[in-house]
Amino acid sequence: KFDIIVRTDNKMLKFKDYHWTLNDYSNAINKAGLSIVNIDECPIDKSKIKDAEFISRKKTFPSYMLIIVKNID
């Protein structure tokens, strides 16, 4: 758990954020009786973003991850 401060339009937003490891997600999914079918790190569409630094950062650290699961029956 860690504190985040975001400043935008002369306003400040404070909130708590959490970092869950892939192992945390996997354990929770298995405990719920599900299995992982696929994982997608949702790559960015470089043609829609002009900020090269942002693209470089997101190439290394994706913003989103989809975990596709199914029931174990």
Query: Which two structure tokens, joined as six digits, stand for 15?
Result: 């909130």
CA-to-CA distance for 51 and 17, rounded, in angstroms?
A: 26
Q: Is the pTM of this model over 0.95?
A: no
Give pLDDT, residue 37: 96
CA-to-CA distance for 65 and 41, rounded, in angstroms?
A: 4
Give pLDDT, residue 26: 95
Query: pLDDT class for 61, splitting at 50, 70, 90?
Result: confident
Query: Which two structure tokens, joined as six digits, stand for 12?
Result: 């400040």
Q: Which has the closest alpha carbon to 17: 32, 1, 5, 31? A: 1
Average pLDDT value over all residues in the chain: 85
CA-to-CA distance for 22 and 27, rounded, in angstroms?
A: 9
**pLDDT surpassing 90 at residue 29:** yes
CA-to-CA distance for 40 and 27, rounded, in angstroms?
A: 18
